[in-house]
Structure 1
Amino acid sequence: MPTSSLLAMRVRATDSSPIMTDPSPTEKWLRIGVDGGASKTDLILTDAEGRILIEKTGPGCSPSHLGQDGARVLISRQLRDLITGRPGIRARITHTLLFMAGDPAFWRDYAVNLEGYGRVEADLDSVPALQLACGNGPGLAIHGGTGSFVAAREPDGRHHYAGGLGWRIGDPGSAHDLGVRAARRTLMEMDGWSAPSPVGTSVNETIGKSTRRDLLERLYTANDPSSLLAGLAPAISRLAEEGCREAATIMAESLQPLVDLAHRVAGQLALPPGFACGLSGRLFSNPVAVRIVTDQLNRAGLDCRISRITEEPIEGVRQILAGWKS
């Protein structure tokens, strides 16, 4: 079916609305789609043509953050909540697609053992972004958000995933990586090896520490250091957009390894000239980040059509559900 905007396809339903008690032909068989990330989980129930009948958003369900038992319990509850109070719906669910952050083997095992939701399959959370980037054709999706990754689809439909190694190892172009670089710059300013800048002022204001010792102690003793550092990213993004040279440099240095990875993936897969390359994630809502990556991709010599993905990943899930044949 033609790609439509999410709003155009949405039919809102409140928790108490008795929808679909007398289903139309397209509502006779239903499908569930899930986009499960580290920060939030989006769930939709659609009809066979991809119209959204119910939608919900809940907490993130990554096993990397919750542990496997916690992730399993949370997503199971979210699936139940999606259809609770609507008798007869479960019997009409033919497909459930899970696009999840975290260990793919864990989610495949979860899908195999999930009963009562039709045919259940699990795949990487990068797939919806890839759908929005290039539809059913070859191309790349470069994602910069809480984490980062490069996803690719070959002309024969096979898709691939690169990066996404998590904050402990390093996700270039992610909120955490921006925060680490901003904190490092701030400490260099405190030591006198870099000139004072709005970056240092912003980091000290955000974390609430004004001396080198206090800042280091806070960074190393925080209960959740990843979230603390990632929380610096919005200010760096804002400063870059306001014209702060130091913030823009941090952004460019963080993004370059992600672009290098995209270049390697495109070359090894021999993607055809003019392939689609979509930029997804919160970082690329910043026009400075888009301009930086566009320049870096052009300098790398990639022959691609670059666009910014403005839709949420759940729209990619909806499109995949609509095109999934029984």
Structure 2
Amino acid sequence: MGVTEPLVVGVDGGNSKTDVALATSSGRVLGVVRGPGSSPDKLGDQEAARVIGGLIRSALAGADARETPVVAVSAFLAGLDLPEDAPRFQAVLAPQWPDARVRVENDVVAALHAGTGGSPGVAVVCGAGINAVGLGPAGQRASFLSLGVRSGDWGGGLGLGRAVLWHAIRAEDGRGPRTRLAELTRRHFGVREVEEVAVSLQSGRIAELRLADLVEVLFRADEEGDPVAVSLVVRLAEEVASMTRVMLDRTALRGAAASVVLAGGVLTGGRPRLDTLIDDALRRVDPTSRPVRLRVPPVAGALAHALPGGLPDVERSRLEQQWQDARRDPAAAEGVVT
């Protein structure tokens, strides 16, 4: 017999993957499905809505709940950076679920909800890009434009990869200081000279997104004490603290013992030196703030947002365990209802 209790859906949609979580309206999680990216900025509104709709239907089928009414959908998506983006995409997505309350936000808000349950606080997300959001005690919201270099961003995985390549090329041709980043970059891409990577990027033989892979090169060189890598990692920690400072001030949370949720693969990768640098930098910004490294998938925040009573602790713990297992074995998370 299928599920009869009304259902809610949380969506965390990025550039490369989308997680859809399905739960009963009382908070019992029925499954999580992972599929391809669904950023409207990358795919266009219609295609992004099609991807999300297909994943939701897959989750319903996996839970034997095709005929069960969906009463709420909270979709948090990358690329909804301008004020008009979320309302525009909501108008495209909502008709698929005419009887549901459909809400659309930027994906950084999912991290905040996942870390605080929707309480006031700040979230800084550093994955392929970097962004932050703040939610104040009176409901005031603040965020950055997050359009990359043109809006002042620095420190996402793609930006860090570009910085690694920049320093590696300059070390190789003599314009910059010697650095292990050159040798490690050559080894990573299997080339004899770093400039071959730049040429391949220019010709399209290497996709620009692959530069984000150089984050691991950066942290390896940092562990080895390479001065150039060390300086980049220190700069990243200071950037996280700077973004946090602005969000705390804009939402009247400085000195209020606010949670600062740290999310995204760069900030939750279990890198002790980076963690220490960030904690120290945050203490200088606001000694009362409390760093919270996200241990549940951001889709848990989307689900908490969709549920009238938030996500129950027992279900949150179960999602945390599943996520940690999936991070140890990524293939296990691909396209599967858990």
* Structure 2 CA distance for partners of 1:230 and 1:167, relative to 1, 3 Å: farther
| Equivalent position amino acid for 1:318 in 2 | L
The answer to whether the Cα contact below 8 Å between 1:143 and 1:281 also exists between their aligned partners in 2 is yes
| Matched residue, 2:96 | 114
Provide, for residues 259-295 of structure 1, a one-character-per-residue CA deviation record: whole Å limited to 9, x for no partner: 3232122113221411111211111222222222222
| Matched residue, 1:43 | 20
| Matched residue, 2:265 | 282
1:84 has 2:61 as partner: yes
* Structure 2 CA distance for partners of 1:175 and 1:87, relative to 1, 3 Å: closer
| Matched residue, 2:36 | 59
Provide, for residues 32-64 of structure 1, a one-character-per-residue CA deviation record: whole Å limited to 9, x for no partner: 111111121111110122111122111111122
Using the alignment, how far apart are the partners of 2:62 and 2:303 within structure 1? Answer: 23
RMSD: 2.6
| Matched residue, 1:75 | 52
| Matched residue, 1:297 | 282
Using the alignment, how far apart are the partners of 1:250 and 1:270 within structure 2? Answer: 30
| Matched residue, 1:3 | none
- Give the Å deviation of 1:310: 1.6
The answer to whether the Cα contact below 8 Å between 1:62 and 1:71 also exists between their aligned partners in 2 is yes
> What is the aligned counterpart of 1:321 among 300, 306, 311?
306
| Percent of residue pairs identical | 25
- Give the Å deviation of 1:301: 4.4
Give the secondary-structure state (helix, strand or coil) at the position aligned to 1:250: helix
Provide, for residues 123-173 of structure 1, a one-character-per-residue CA deviation record: whole Å limited to 9, x for no partner: 221122112333343211111111111111100234332243247766422
Give the secondary-structure state (helix, strand or coil) at the position aligned to 2:253: coil
* Structure 2 CA distance for partners of 1:71 and 1:190, relative to 1, 3 Å: same
Give the secondary-structure state (helix, strand or coil) at the position aligned to 2:220: helix
| Matched residue, 1:141 | 123
* Structure 2 CA distance for partners of 1:81 and 1:136, relative to 1, 3 Å: closer
| Matched residue, 2:238 | 256
Using the alignment, how far apart are the partners of 2:62 and 2:298 within structure 1? Answer: 27
Q: Which moved more, 1:223-232 or 1:71-80?
A: 223-232
| Equivalent position amino acid for 1:293 in 2 | I
The answer to whether the Cα contact below 8 Å between 2:2 and 2:65 also exists between their aligned partners in 1 is no
The answer to whether the Cα contact below 8 Å between 1:46 and 1:52 also exists between their aligned partners in 2 is yes
* Structure 2 CA distance for partners of 1:33 and 1:137, relative to 1, 3 Å: closer
| Matched residue, 1:209 | 191
* Structure 2 CA distance for partners of 1:235 and 1:40, relative to 1, 3 Å: same
1:127-166 aligned at under 5 Å gives the runs 127-166=109-148
| Matched residue, 2:292 | 307
Using the alignment, how far apart are the partners of 1:163 and 1:48 within structure 2? Answer: 34
* Structure 2 CA distance for partners of 1:147 and 1:260, relative to 1, 3 Å: same
Using the alignment, how far apart are the partners of 1:304 and 1:287 within structure 2? Answer: 19
The answer to whether the Cα contact below 8 Å between 2:114 and 2:302 also exists between their aligned partners in 1 is no
| Equivalent position amino acid for 1:234 in 2 | E
Q: Which moved more, 1:288-297 or 1:181-190?
A: 288-297
| Matched residue, 2:314 | none
Using the alignment, how far apart are the partners of 1:53 and 1:238 within structure 2? Answer: 39
Using the alignment, how far apart are the partners of 2:34 and 2:160 within structure 1? Answer: 27
- Give the Å deviation of 1:91: 4.1
| Matched residue, 1:4 | none
* Structure 2 CA distance for partners of 1:308 and 1:86, relative to 1, 3 Å: closer
Give the secondary-structure state (helix, strand or coil) at the position aligned to 1:102: coil
| Equivalent position amino acid for 2:32 in 1 | E
The answer to whether the Cα contact below 8 Å between 1:111 and 1:121 also exists between their aligned partners in 2 is no
Q: Which has the higher contact order (CA 8 A, sep 6+)?
A: 2
The answer to whether the Cα contact below 8 Å between 1:173 and 1:255 also exists between their aligned partners in 2 is no
Q: Which structure 2 residue ranges, 5 or more long, are not aligned?
A: 81-85, 311-338
Q: List structure 1 segments (4+ residues) > 6 angstroms apart after TM superposition.
A: none
Q: Which structure 1 residue ranges, 5 or more long, are not aligned?
A: 1-17
Size of the aligned set, in residue pairs, is 302
* Structure 2 CA distance for partners of 1:38 and 1:88, relative to 1, 3 Å: closer
Using the alignment, how far apart are the partners of 2:254 and 2:285 within structure 1? Answer: 15
Using the alignment, how far apart are the partners of 1:316 and 1:85 within structure 2? Answer: 21
